[in-house]
Amino acid sequence: MGILGDLLGGVGADIYGEIPQEIKDLYTDPLPELTAPDVTFQPFTVTGSAGYTTSGPEGTTYNLSDEQQAMQQQLFGGASNFFSQAMQDPAQREQAVFERMMTAMSQPQERERLALESRLASQGRLGVQTSQFGGTPEGLALAKAQEEQRYAAYLGAMQQAQAEQAQQAKLGGMFLGQSYAPMQALLTEFSPGLQTATLADVARRQQGEFDYEAQLANLEGVLGQRQGLGNLFGSSLSSAGDLLGSIISGAGGLLGDLIP
């Protein structure tokens, strides 16, 4: 049996020894590991004449330049002032306008009164009193005309106050609208940068997908190679088994002949 064992061991060693070392290493080396590609969002900043905009994982921040920020605050302040004036009680403005109009009318009215007294004095009628009006007809007509002027001034003051109120509200709206112009300019400058960043992000994700597919293909190739070699050497081992069976059968017959 020592001879038979040596013979079988030699055949097995020959079969195993025929396997190349690189093929042995192929089965002993670990399989390639799959690593997730980095496709996370990459922060970016767009800088322009109006300021700069930074977009990151936590959101987007807008930063106006010092000049644009000062302009925005100035326009906001102007809008606030105009709106405050527009919201005041119009009666106060009516009274102020009426007083100014009466001040402007006082001197002409005083001149008219003095001129009438001068005419009445020259006619010797300065102290005349009528039973119906308590004064001269000319004096009554002057007083009536001046009162109508006063009433017209009051109506004019009301209309002027309302017009000023509407104008202040309109100016406040204009100032408020223009106060957003710096931010609009910043957004306009941000738009092309956003498009570029979006294209870069899509390209990065596509490249990550391609890299992952390449890793899968590499792993599938290694597995396929091992499976193919396994099938090949399985067939070889089967043939070797048949060979060993024949050897054992022949060795058994030989031993039978040798043993008396």
Q: What is the pLDDT of residue 127?
A: 60
Give the angle 227-233-236 at the CA atoms, nearest 5°: 150
Q: What is the pLDDT of residue 209?
A: 80
Q: What is the pLDDT of residue 173?
A: 93
Q: What is the pLDDT of residue 126?
A: 63
pTM: 0.48
- Residue-wise pLDDT for 98-151, tens only, equals 888 888 877 887 787 778 777 777 776 666 555 555 567 777 787 788 788 888
Task: Give the type of residue at 207.
Answer: Q
Name 42's bridge partners: none
Instruction: Say which residue the tokens 């193919």 belong to.
Output: 228
Taking the domains of the chain in order of start, what are their residue ranges? 1-64+180-260, 68-179
- Residue-wise pLDDT for 7-50, tens only, equals 445 545 455 455 666 666 666 667 777 777 777 777 888 888 88
